[in-house]
Structure 1
Amino acid sequence: MKYISFVVPCYNSEDYMNRCIDSLLCAGNDVEIIIINDGSTDKTREIAEDYSIKYPDMIKVINKENGGHGSGVNVGLENATGIYFKVVDSDDWLDRQALDRLMFRIRDFCLKKQSNPGTIIPDLFICNYVYDHLYEETHHDISYKNVLDDEKLCRWKDIGNFRASQYLLMHSQIFKTAILRKSGVKLPEHTFYVDNIFAYQPLPYVEHLYYMNVDLYHYFIGREDQSVNEDVMLSRIDQQIRVTERMLTCVDLHAVKKNEPRLAAYMYRYLSIIMSITNILLLMINSEESMLQKNKLWNEIKSRDKNLYRKLKYTSMSGLTNMPGSVGRKLSISGYRVAQKIYKFN
């Protein structure tokens, strides 16, 4: 039995994938590591297959045609056999001590479940993550200790309030594999920023959460070709819009609100953040086409769900990034620059 399936989507990752995979090997034979070679043209395949020869009981390599990060996650989920599922990008890595603690806790829950089938185990583990600006030799962590009690099984009704800098990214989440499959999450191919869909769509299927106040995931920031680099994001605005549109429609938030009002409030807030990012990028481009795209997106929300439109436009952060006129544009971008300087998210 494997407790966690770690999925590592790789595309031309030869320069940094060893650091990632070596950090996962520390978990031992209780995990499987599924390396998805997404049509790489460098030595990624050879490196991955060398690992699979050296660690045949832990590492599985899947070679496929290029389909993008989301395609790699989809294939990983189809092939996962672990009780839990964790995506680790090939340029990121996990902290060994934090991983040891997480594995101890997962083993403990699962062994109790084996001896007593009535035992509740978490649908979602949450750990802190670290923005690691290696080239600048700086880092800062995102923790949830103000939102969730440390190492206590809880439900959505028990969560506190998220700060502006806090939301549950893929980096912080370890879902039960069965929950992901039940949610039907399937990420679009040849599209960046799909981790937001992954982090969002399965949440209504989660009943029990477990937070560990450990800095588990190190999120590397600094490569010029990285998807969160601002210039790269501007060049891929069509993909940002595609992800935003999917998130606006993949969950019935009115139904969620009836059953889990605190979860619904968080999910509305997440949508507001995604809409804000999309608005800001379109404002930065500042072309006739980008303004038409922004207006079209807002009009589609309005025609589909007037309550959601009002909430996003008038009572949340996304409304502040949709102020009219050149003055509104300047204020919106200035606010983004301040947040960028404080939180260093790209």
Structure 2
Amino acid sequence: MDYPEKILTISIAAYNVQQYLDKLLASLVAPEVLDDLEVLVIDDGSADKTADIALKYVKRYPESFRLIRKENGGWGSTVNCGIRTSKGKYFKLIDGDDWFPTENMENFILFLKKAKSDLIFTPFYEADDRTERITGIKGDILKSVTGTVEAFARLPQGSPLAMHGMTVSTKFLRKNRIHVTENCFYADLEFVIKTVNCCKSIEVFHEPTYVYRTARGGQSVSNEGFAKHYQDNLIILRKLLHYCETELICKENEAIFVQRLNEAVQGQYWAFLCAKPSPLHKKELKEFDAWIRENYRSYYESCKWIKIRILRLTRFYGYGCMVRLHHWRQM
């Protein structure tokens, strides 16, 4: 089938999300603008009924919904696949366990029809996984912004730097060859930083366009997820520290990237403490700490986390006790 160009492509990273996918796809069915919407369900080698659920929507709305099946390659591979195959003027990522606030879709499409910027920022909701009740909003600080700005650094201090609040020109993504690491967790930060680094114009749409499901067991950002995938976080962190050191385009963005990467460094320390205590994990933690100290001294010194500072002072002698204390306090 020859798919026509659309205003917005929503690319869904879908891996074993049969429990959540129907809610997400139903939230994208806005009859007033369905002709302007392309929904790519990128099935990343699911072993459940993810593809079957997607096919129901493909059959009902063949001009708007597409299912792309591929071998498992991780979240980043679904992003790269979506960018390659998108037919939309703008491109938005949504994880398969989250959803879109349908009531804002029509206004969002109308906004995108007139938009000319590389990047559109929007607020996004957070929702409790169990009740699906909205618990908060991120990016509401953007409500003071009107018109187009030329750099992210000119947005209000504290503006969210997260994939959930970003919609990006597809031509911009291809022109700048935005590509993220495959077969690796935490590549969303790589997508955000590479995109913001390259963009030259930003607009803000003031209604939320994403509902992010929080506190779900097994999420990569949960304590369990950090413990399991701490090496992936380290891979992305190393890449981005080097990227921002060597490929920074807009100097105005440097302070923002430093803040976001500092959070990622602290997250790596957190991940090591979430992992089960072992001689190997202790060795890896010490090596990471030494590497940060030798190569990125400012990030090393900015760590105010008392547990890590105590470990440094004791030359990591109290590692096992500190990790057990950390686990106990997270229960």
- Helix, strand or coil: the match of 1:236? helix
**Count of residue pairs brought into register by the alignment:** 317
Instruction: Sort the Cα spacing of 1:325 and 1:41 in 2 relative to 1 into closer, same or farther, 3 A.
Output: closer
Matched, 1:260 2:251: yes
Instruction: Sort the Cα spacing of 1:208 and 1:13 in 2 relative to 1 into closer, same or farther, 3 A.
Output: same
Matched, 1:60 2:66: yes
Q: Provide the residue aligned with 1:14 in structure 2.
A: 18
Give, in angstroms, the shift of residue 299 of structure 1: 4.0
Q: Provide the residue aligned with 1:115 in structure 2.
A: none
Matched, 1:295 2:286: yes
Matched, 1:87 2:93: yes
- Helix, strand or coil: the match of 1:216? coil
**Larger displacement relative to structure 2 (294-303 or 272-281):** 294-303
CA distance in 2, matches of 1:297, 1:201: 24
Look up the equivalent residue of 1:268 and give its one-letter code. Answer: V
1:135-214 aligned within 5 A: 135=130, 137=133, 139-145=135-141, 149-156=144-151, 157-162=153-158, 167-214=160-207
Instruction: Sort the Cα spacing of 1:334 and 1:151 in 2 relative to 1 into closer, same or farther, 3 A.
Output: farther
Instruction: Sort the Cα spacing of 1:319 and 1:272 in 2 relative to 1 into closer, same or farther, 3 A.
Output: farther
CA distance in 1, matches of 2:171, 2:208: 25
Instruction: Sort the Cα spacing of 1:320 and 1:250 in 2 relative to 1 into closer, same or farther, 3 A.
Output: farther
CA distance in 2, matches of 1:142, 1:337: 30
Q: Provide the residue aligned with 2:262 in structure 1.
A: 272
Task: Pick from 120, 123, 142 the counterpart of residue 118 of structure 2.
Answer: 123
**Larger displacement relative to structure 2 (278-287 or 78-87):** 278-287
CA distance in 2, matches of 1:70, 1:151: 32
> Is 1:38–1:63's contact at 8 Å kept on the other side of the alignment?
yes
Which runs of no fewer than 5 residues in structure 1 stay unpaired? 110-120, 341-346
- Helix, strand or coil: the match of 1:37? strand
Instruction: Sort the Cα spacing of 1:322 and 1:182 in 2 relative to 1 into closer, same or farther, 3 A.
Output: farther
Look up the equivalent residue of 1:292 and give its one-letter code. Answer: K
- In the superposition, the TM-score normalised over structure 2's length comes to 0.84
Instruction: Sort the Cα spacing of 1:167 and 1:273 in 2 relative to 1 into closer, same or farther, 3 A.
Output: farther
- Helix, strand or coil: the match of 1:57? coil
> Is 2:29–2:102's contact at 8 Å kept on the other side of the alignment?
no
- In the superposition, the TM-score normalised over structure 1's length comes to 0.81
CA distance in 1, matches of 2:266, 2:105: 33
Give, in angstroms, the shift of residue 32 of structure 1: 0.7
- Helix, strand or coil: the match of 1:70? helix
- Helix, strand or coil: the match of 2:205? strand
Q: Provide the residue aligned with 1:118 in structure 2.
A: none
- Helix, strand or coil: the match of 1:83? strand
Any idea what the Cα deviations from partners look like across 1:305-346, whole Å, max 9, x if unmatched? Answer: x5xx132122x45777742428898999999999x9xxxxxx
Which runs of no fewer than 5 residues in structure 2 stay unpaired? none
Any idea what the Cα deviations from partners look like across 1:203-227, whole Å, max 9, x if unmatched? Answer: 1211111122322210112432222
Look up the equivalent residue of 2:254 and give its one-letter code. Answer: A
CA distance in 1, matches of 2:283, 2:25: 44
> Is 1:124–1:208's contact at 8 Å kept on the other side of the alignment?
yes
CA distance in 1, matches of 2:156, 2:225: 35
Matched, 1:4 2:8: yes
Q: Provide the residue aligned with 1:73 in structure 2.
A: 79
- Helix, strand or coil: the match of 2:72? coil
> Is 2:197–2:248's contact at 8 Å kept on the other side of the alignment?
no
Task: Pick from 273, 280, 299 the counterpart of residue 283 of structure 1.
Answer: 273
Task: Pick from 267, 292, 299 the counterpart of residue 312 of structure 1.
Answer: 299
Task: Pick from 91, 104, 112 the counterpart of residue 98 of structure 1.
Answer: 104
- Helix, strand or coil: the match of 2:146? coil
Look up the equivalent residue of 2:251 and give its one-letter code. Answer: E
Any idea what the Cα deviations from partners look like across 1:119-141, whole Å, max 9, x if unmatched? Answer: xx211111111221142546111
- Helix, strand or coil: the match of 2:272? helix
Give, in angstroms, the shift of residue 196 of structure 1: 1.3
Give, in angstroms, the shift of residue 255 of structure 1: 4.1
Instruction: Sort the Cα spacing of 1:276 and 1:167 in 2 relative to 1 into closer, same or farther, 3 A.
Output: farther
- Provide the alpha-carbon RMSD of the alignment: 3.1
Give, in angstroms, the shift of residue 176 of structure 1: 1.1
Q: Provide the residue aligned with 1:323 in structure 2.
A: 309
CA distance in 2, matches of 1:331, 1:101: 51
> Is 1:13–1:90's contact at 8 Å kept on the other side of the alignment?
yes
CA distance in 2, matches of 1:107, 1:337: 52
- Helix, strand or coil: the match of 2:137? strand
